[in-house]
Amino acid sequence: MRRRSRTAALVTAAALALPLLHACSNSSGDDTGGKVTLEYWLWDDKQQPAYQACADEFTKANPNITVKISQTAWAQYWQNLTTQLASGSAPDVWTDHASYYPQFVSSNQILDIQPFVDKDKVDLSQYQAGLADLFVKDGKRYGLPKDWDTMALVYNTKFVPDATGLDKLTWNPADGGTFEQAIAKATVDANGKNGLDPAFDKTKVKVYGFLPEWADGSQGQNGWGDLAVSNGFTYLDKNPWGTKYKYDDPKLAETIAWFKHLIDAGYAPKFDKQSTLGRDAVMDAGQAAFTIVGSWTISSYLGTGAKQQYAFAPLPTGPAGRKTAINGLSDAIYAGTKHPEQAWAWVKFLGSAACQDIVGDKAVVFPALKSGADKALAAHKAAGRDVHVFTDEAAAPGGTFFLPITDHGNEISQIVQDSLQGVVLGSAQPADALKKANDQVNALFK
């Protein structure tokens, strides 16, 4: 009896395991009959429906190629991809991000598509200016742009009822300009006094005027980076592929010192009192008035069912003008793909109006192609969402800057983030801490 139950268990085990052994081990493509299945990876589930629609269109036009889309949440996406690459095979095409892509380039994991671009005469000028060049290194091209994002101020209209002048805010690190005035005015303590009132009690703040982001790596895309650049700061000697960072620039230290001043004045939360659930949670809870966000958050701030009423305003104009980070994703082809021609056909399709217009219509991101971005803007407008500040900023001459793309991106990110968190916790002075961080960063390139 006992013996039989054990045998039964083993038989069951074998029965379960064996028939599935070769069930779908050929998922990355089989050439039988000229039919090819491409694997395509992305991380954002909100974009998956749009790209599935693209894949369906693509297969309609190319009946021999099917695209299988896999989505993995951000935190696991990169480990999953890296493990696949390290074991010698990977998806044919994947969505690539600037902080990982230099590593993949230097280890020869991404296919150079310049020959294809030349052969098919792809018009690179149709993309948002400068985006296509981010994916070029030493004359080789490692991706076509798929979308872009810019930054803007978002505010809760309950705490900032009067929008007058919000489109012309000024800022400087010395007195904070009209931006600091607006922040102070929107800060409210437990007695209902705002930050401009002499009786304002900074130990009992109910609504913070501004929410800074301190888990923002080496770039400060969601705040300090944009303001520092508008103060005349440049991250590094050349971008992309620079080798000498300039975090010791006093213009950056001044900017960080101004943020520290906001905290000390009670207009922004202390680092060790700031929510770890993310800024949108605090905004939604009605505990903060302003923060700086990217265009990818439009749907969470202006989506249906939001408890607070929000509106967007352009970033303030600094001593060097109004500057927003612009960043874009790309689609990369695996260097070891068995189907480079088909993978290129898919990437070309992803970068074409046929697909980017579909993506634009869904209004989740701004597609890299101008026509697609216009579609997205129109879709937002049709849904009653006023998001023109993002596209205006992207169109303003000299109004955008690219985030650094270099080797060691993730390490630099950790070094600078640690350094800045140390500063806002009060354990170091901005200039000293940034000097030290900059030395560490530049040592990585030696």
Partner 1 sequence: MTRRFSPGKVLAWLVLAAFLALTIAPFYWMIRTAITPVADIYTDSTAIVPSHPTMINFWRVLGLVDPQTAREAGGSGAQINFLRYTLNSIIYCALIAGVQTFCCAMAGYAFARLRFPGRDLVFGIIVAALMVPPIFTLLPNFTLVKTIGAMDTFLGMVAPNLLMTPFAVFFLRQFFLSIPREVEEAAIIDGAGKWGVFWRVIVPMSRGPLITIALTTSVWAWKDFLWPLLVGRGEQTRVLTVALGVFLQQSPNTQPDWTGLMAASTLSVLPVLALLIFLGKRLVQSLNFTGIK
Partner 2 sequence: MTMSNTVAVPAATVPDAEKSPGPRRARDDRWVAWLFLAPVLLGFAVFYLYPTVRGVWYSVTDYSLLNTPNFVGADNYSELVSDGQFWNSLKVTAYYVVLNIGSQTVLALGLAALMHRLTGSVVVRATMLLPWLVPNVTVGLLWMWLLDSNLGFVNHLLGMVGVDNRAYLNSPDWAMPSVALINTWAYTGYTALLLYAGMLQIPAHLYESAALDGAGELRMFRRITLPLLRPILALVLVVSLIGSFQIFDTVAVTTKGGPVGATRVIYFYIYQQAFTYFHMGYAAAAAMVLVVILGVLTAVQMRLLRASRSDLT
Cβ 118 to partner 1 shortest distance, Å? 33
Task: Say whether residue 297 binds partner 1 (CB under 8 A).
Answer: yes
CB 70 within 8 A of CB 91: yes
Closest CB to partner 1 among residues 149, 254: 149
- The residues in 413-442 that bind partner 2, with binding defined as CB under 8 A, are 414, 417-418, 421-422, 425, 427
Strand partners, 147: 329, 367
Strand partners, 39: 68
45 binds, among partner 2, partner 1, none (CB under 5 to 8 A by kind): partner 1
Question: Which one among 48, 52, 287, 429 touches partner 2, defined by CB under 8 A?
Answer: 287
Distances, alpha carbon 430 to alpha carbons 191, 259, 421, 433, in Å: 33, 10, 10, 5
Question: Which one among 107, 114, 309, 371 touches partner 2, defined by CB under 8 A?
Answer: 107
Which tokens hold the place of 396?
């303003």
- Phi, psi of 41, deg, nearest 5: -115, 140
- Number of neighbours of residue 133 by Cβ within 10 angstroms: 13
Cβ 407 to partner 2 shortest distance, Å? 10
408 binds, among partner 2, partner 1, none (CB under 5 to 8 A by kind): partner 2
Task: Say whether residue 41 binds partner 2 (CB under 8 A).
Answer: no
Task: Say whether residue 402 binds partner 2 (CB under 8 A).
Answer: no
Binding site for partner 2 (CB under 8 A): 75, 78-79, 82, 85-86, 103-104, 107-109, 215, 269, 271-277, 281-282, 285, 287, 408, 410-411, 414, 417-418, 421-422, 425, 427
Binding site for partner 1 (CB under 8 A): 2, 6, 9-10, 13, 16-18, 20-25, 27, 43-46, 48-49, 70-76, 79-80, 83, 86-89, 213, 222, 277-278, 280-282, 284-286, 294, 296-297, 300, 304-307
